[in-house]
């Protein structure tokens, strides 16, 4: 099975970044949102991610030259030229972005091979989407959800070919995080899972090769099942007065090798998103997963992390 043209539904944080990764890999992409303006905004963000990558790759040789010279080595012009020529050419942003089309109708999805939906994290919204899109996709297309925690078997039952449905779960932001969790619904044909797995194995994001892993349908799959309770435990440490947010984050970065502490991560992902996943774990896995009191209060107060300016930390710009 070949996936050459990809449809993305939802051009928010995840949809726009997944689209960027796909066009970077030479694929044609059409991205849909509720309005043309929203879809266009997603394309602008995808352009920004490509431009950031272009700048990063363009600066790599000079960074390497500086790194070598820091050790007191004086490089000749010839040696510098050799270093420069050993790095890849920066991507041609103008050319790559032309592979991304925007739309507000599924009419433009009639010829896509694979769809990844990245709309709001609500079961009904996703079920309705699977039902509607059934009327437009080819019989041999594959339909995927980027859901973090919802029921894919239920979504599949709303699609005309439930055996062609699965979860393709990217991590935020997909252009930097290489992991992709691939999770079948109860109805999914194993051959579809294999071909999606193989497809992602050969792809890359702005920094490195993508790393697909397989998991079974379960709350949080692999990574969030571990990560979210860890944030919950970190909250308990603070609520019990053992340490404050900053100390916990420092501890986990310097002692456990995490690039971000649990509270920095929660602010980055969105405190509301973390809370909703905690709630879904409690419903499916039991009261041991009861969210700490503080996080519910924060959601009620609108302290949602970086996106609202305040979360576990204050992200408002200081004068
Ligand atoms: N943000 C994360 O860290 C993260 C990580 C992994 C997975 N996810 C999952 O990805 C999905 C999207 O999350 P996000 O953070 O990008 O959300 P977001 O709110 O940034 O974007 C959602 C987009 O979907 C659009 N949309 C909603 N309903 C639509 C419909 N019926 N048709 C077309 N467009 C529609 C919205 O207008 C919006 O632009 C969710 O399922 C979420 O759980 C999020």
CB of residue 13 inside a 6 A radius of ligand 1? yes
Q: Tell the burial category of 258 from Cβ atoms under 10 Å away from its Cβ (0-12, 13-18, 19+).
A: middle
Q: Tell the burial category of 259 from Cβ atoms under 10 Å away from its Cβ (0-12, 13-18, 19+).
A: exposed
Strand pairing partners for 85? none
Q: Which residue, by CA, sits nearest to atom 4 of ligand 1? A: 172
- Assess if CATH 1.10.1040.10 describes domain 224-301: yes
9 Cα: distance to centroid of ligand 1 (angstroms): 8
CB of residue 119 inside a 6 A radius of ligand 1? yes
CB of residue 276 inside a 6 A radius of ligand 1? no
Please answer whether residues 58 and 88 qualify as being in contact, where contact means their C-beta atoms are separated by less than 8 angstroms. Answer: no
Please answer whether residues 91 and 118 qualify as being in contact, where contact means their C-beta atoms are separated by less than 8 angstroms. Answer: no
Query: In the chain, what is the straight-line distance between the N-terminal and C-terminal CA atoms, in Å?
Result: 55
pLDDT the model gives residue 275: 94
Which H or E run contains 250?
helix 245-256
The ranges assigned to domains in the chain are 5-51+94-214, 224-301
What's the 3-state SS for 62-105?
Answer: HHHHHHHHHCCCCCCHHHHHHHHHCCCCCCCHHHHHCCEEEECC
pLDDT the model gives residue 318: 67
97 Cα: distance to centroid of ligand 1 (angstroms): 21
- Is there a cis peptide before residue 173, judged by omega within 30 degrees of 0? yes
What would the two tokens of residue 192 be?
């579809």
pLDDT the model gives residue 1: 82
pLDDT the model gives residue 255: 98
pLDDT the model gives residue 317: 78
Q: Cα separations (Å) of 95 from 50, 51, 56, 91?
A: 11, 12, 18, 9
CB of residue 14 inside a 6 A radius of ligand 1? yes
10 Cα: distance to centroid of ligand 1 (angstroms): 6
Each of the 319 residues of the chain gets a pLDDT tens digit; together they read 889 999 999 999 999 999 999 999 999 999 999 999 999 999 999 999 999 999 999 999 999 999 999 999 999 999 999 999 999 999 999 999 999 999 999 999 999 999 999 999 889 999 999 999 999 999 999 999 999 888 999 999 999 999 999 999 999 999 999 999 999 999 999 999 999 999 999 899 999 999 999 999 999 999 999 999 999 999 999 999 999 999 999 999 999 999 999 999 999 989 998 998 999 899 999 999 999 999 999 999 999 999 899 999 999 976 5
Ligand 1 pocket mutation, candidates 13, 36, 221, 269, criterion most atoms within 8 A of CB: 13
Sign (positive/negative) of CA torsion 61, 66, 67, 72? positive
Q: Can you identify the CATH homologous superfamily of domain 5-51+94-214?
A: NAD(P)-binding Rossmann-like Domain (3.40.50.720)
CB of residue 10 inside a 6 A radius of ligand 1? yes
69 Cα: distance to centroid of ligand 1 (angstroms): 45
């Amino acid at each position: 099975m070949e996936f050459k043209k990809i449809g993305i539904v939802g051009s928010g944080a995840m949809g726009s970044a997944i689209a960027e990764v796909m066009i970077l890999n030479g694929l044609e992409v059409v991205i849909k949102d509720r309005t043309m303006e929203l879809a266009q905004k997603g394309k602008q963000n995808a352009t920004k991610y490509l431009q950031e990558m272009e700048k990063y790759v363009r600066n790599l040789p000079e960074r390497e030259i500086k790194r070598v010279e820091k050790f007191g080595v004086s490089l000749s012009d010839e040696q510098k030229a050799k270093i420069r020529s050993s790095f890849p050419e920066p991507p041609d942003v103008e050319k790559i972005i032309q592979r991304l089309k925007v739309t507000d109708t599924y009419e433009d999805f009639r010829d896509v091979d694979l769809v990844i939906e990245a709309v709001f994290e609500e079961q009904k919204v996703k079920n309705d989407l699977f039902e509607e899109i059934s009327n437009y996709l080819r019989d041999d297309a594959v339909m995927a959800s980027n859901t973090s925690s919802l029921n894919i078997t239920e979504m599949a039952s709303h699609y005309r070919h439930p055996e062609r449905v699965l979860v393709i779960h990217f991590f935020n932001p997909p252009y930097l995080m290489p992991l992709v969790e691939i999770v079948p619904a109860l109805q999914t044909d194993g051959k579809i899972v294999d071909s999606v797995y193989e497809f992602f194995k050969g792809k890359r994001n702005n920094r490195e090769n993508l790393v697909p892993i397989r998991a079974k349908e379960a709350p949080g799959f692999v990574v969030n099942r571990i990560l979210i309770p860890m944030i919950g435990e970190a909250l308990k440490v603070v609520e019990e007065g053992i340490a404050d947010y900053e100390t916990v984050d420092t501890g986990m970065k310097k002692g456990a090798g995490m690039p971000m502490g649990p509270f920095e991560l929660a602010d980055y992902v969105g405190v509301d998103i973390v809370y909703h996943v905690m709630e879904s774990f409690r419903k499916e896995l039991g009261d041991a997963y009861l969210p700490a009191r503080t996080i519910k209060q924060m959601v009620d107060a609108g302290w949602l992390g970086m996106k609202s300016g305040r979360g576990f930390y204050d992200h408002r710009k200081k004068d």
